[in-house]
Amino acid sequence: MTHDVSVELDCRGLVCPRPVIELARHLGDVVVGDLVAVVAVDPAARYDVPAWCRMREQEYVGADTAADGVARYVVRRLS
């Protein structure tokens, strides 16, 4: 299932912790309730994005894939 996101962050060339740093930098680009997706090939992102959501009290919606098949981690802005 592909989620309808407001902003998709291309973090394909970035390694830990850069994908979550980019997520933190761009969360304010969407309004509360909207979705942000982090597209990353770094295997650590699978764990880092949900952990970041728990620490920052945002909702980790789940993972799906970008159009090219790369993993995409979806976050709902709660505050």
Q: What is the DSSP letter of 32?
A: T
- Annotated catalytic residue: which of 7, 12, 16, 22? 16
In the predicted structure, residue 1 carries a pLDDT above the cut 70 = no
pLDDT number for residue 3? 84
Structure pTM? 0.95
Whether the per-residue pLDDT at 54 is higher than 70: the answer is yes
For the chain, the structural domain boundaries read 7-76
Torsion of CA 34, 10, 1, 52, to 10 degrees: -60
- Domain at 7-76, CATH homologous superfamily: TusA-like domain (3.30.110.40)
> Is 16 in the active site?
yes
| pLDDT tens per residue, range 6-28 | 999 999 999 999 999 999 999 99
Report the C-alpha gap between 15 and 34 in whole angstroms: 25
Angle separating helix axes 18-26 and 45-56, nearest 10 degrees: 40
By percentage, how much of the chain surpasses pLDDT 90? 96
